[in-house]
Structure 1
Amino acid sequence: MSQIIPILNFEEGFRARAYIDSEGYPTIGTGFLIGPKGAAISNYTFTLSKNVSDVWLQELIDSKSADMRLNPSIYAALKQCNPARSDILLSMCYQLGVNGLAGFKNTLAMIAAGNFTGAANGMLNSLWARQTPQRAQRHSDVMKTGTYDIYKGLI
C-alpha cells in the first residue's frame, strides 16, 4: 500500500501558516506554492489544516501520476516498480517535476530493466543528491530494497 502522503509530509514538512520557501515563493502546507516569487507573506493570512493539506496533496499526486504515465521512459520504469519504488519516483517528481525526473535517463532505464541497485547508485550520482543528500539517500535505499524500512519510525 502506498505511503506517498506520509513520505511527502516527512520529506517536505508541513506548515499550517504561509511561509517563504528557500526559493522566495510564498508556500503553505506540504510545499504548496501559493503566490509569485517575492510576494509579501503578509498577503497570506489563512491557515491550512493537515487534513485539507493531505487532500490537496492527494490531488497533486494524482495529477503528477497521470503526467508521469505520459512520459515513455518514466512509464517504462513505473511498470517495473512495486508500491515503495513507485512512491519514490512520485516523490522525486513532486520535488523535481516530470521533466526533472525524466532527466534521470540512465536511472530510469535501469529501473525499467529491473536493475534497482544500479538505479539507486545512479540516483546518488546526481546534482539532486548533492543538493538534497539525506532525501536522496533515503530514496535510493527504498529503490534498492523495494521496502519502506528506511522510513520506519519516521513516517
Structure 2
Amino acid sequence: MTDSKIIPILNVEEGYKEAPYLDTQGYPTVAGGIRIGPKGASLSNYTFRVPRTVGDVWKQTIVDQKVNEMNQRPAIAAALAACNPPRRDILISMAYQMGTDGLAGFKNTLKLIADGNFSAAADGMLNSLWAKQTPNRAKRHADVMRTGSYDIYRGLI
C-alpha cells in the first residue's frame, strides 16, 4: 500500500492529541482514536504522552491488523479488490472507526463497491446511521468513494 494516505487521513478524521483524552463515548483515548482504557476510566490513570511519530507507527500497526481482518471477510475483501488506493483507504478508515464488524454491516454498499458502482456506494454510505453520527467524515469519505481521489483532503493531508 505504498500509495496509501491512511495515516494522514486518520489523523484528520480522528484528530491528534499527544495526551490522553476522553473520546465522544467516554473511553480514554490517545494519539487519534487509539482506545487505551475502559469506558469511564479516569484520565489521571494515564500520565504519558505519545509523540506524533510514535502514534503514527502505532496506528499503522492497528491498520495492518484491520486490513488482515478485512481480508478474512469475503464481502469486504471483494470490495477492497475493486478499489484504487484512495477508495481502499476509505474502507480502512471506516473499519478503524467502527470495527471490521461495523464495516461488514454495510452489505449493500460493499456489494456496490465490489461491482464498481462507486456512486451508488457513496449514496449508500450517506444513507446510514454512521453518516448521521459522523456526518462530516461520512461526506468526505463518500466523496472519495465517488471520485476515487483524495481531492477533498487537499490541504488537510
- TM-score band, normalised by shorter chain: over 0.9
Amino acid at match of 2:113: I
C-alpha RMSD over aligned residues: 0.6
What is the distance in 1 between the residues matched to 2:126 and 2:8? 22
**Are 1:32 and 2:34 an aligned pair?**
yes
What is the distance in 2 between the residues matched to 1:129 and 1:40? 30
What is the distance in 2 between the residues matched to 1:132 and 1:21? 13
- Partner residue in 1 for 2:102: 100
Amino acid at match of 2:80: L
What is the distance in 2 between the residues matched to 1:131 and 1:36? 21
- Partner residue in 2 for 1:84: 86
Structure 2 gap ranges (5+)? none
Query: What SS does the corresponding residue of 1:37 show, helix, strand or coil?
Result: coil
May I ask how many residue pairs the two structures share in their alignment? 155
Q: Deviations over 1:81-129 (max 9, x none)?
A: 0000000000000001001000000000000000000000000000000
Kindly report which structure 2 residues correspond to 1:43-82, keeping only aligned pairs within 5 A, or say none.
43-82=45-84
What is the distance in 1 between the residues matched to 2:68 and 2:6? 15
What is the distance in 2 between the residues matched to 1:22 and 1:146? 30
**Are 1:138 and 2:140 an aligned pair?**
yes
Q: Deviations over 1:52-101 (max 9, x none)?
A: 00000000000000000000100010010000000000000000100100
- TM-superposed CA distance for 1:12, in Å, is 0.1
Q: TM-score, normalised by structure 1?
A: 0.99
- Partner residue in 1 for 2:151: 149
What is the distance in 1 between the residues matched to 2:79 and 2:115? 8
Structure 1 gap ranges (5+)? none
- TM-superposed CA distance for 1:142, in Å, is 0.3
- TM-superposed CA distance for 1:40, in Å, is 1.0
Query: What SS does the corresponding residue of 1:39 show, helix, strand or coil?
Result: coil
**Among 119, 122, 142, the residue aligned to 1:120:** 122
What is the distance in 2 between the residues matched to 1:32 and 1:145? 29
Query: What SS does the corresponding residue of 2:20 show, helix, strand or coil?
Result: strand
Kindly report which structure 2 residues correspond to 1:13-24, keeping only aligned pairs within 5 A, or say none.
13-24=15-26
- TM-superposed CA distance for 1:24, in Å, is 1.1
Q: TM-score, normalised by structure 2?
A: 0.97
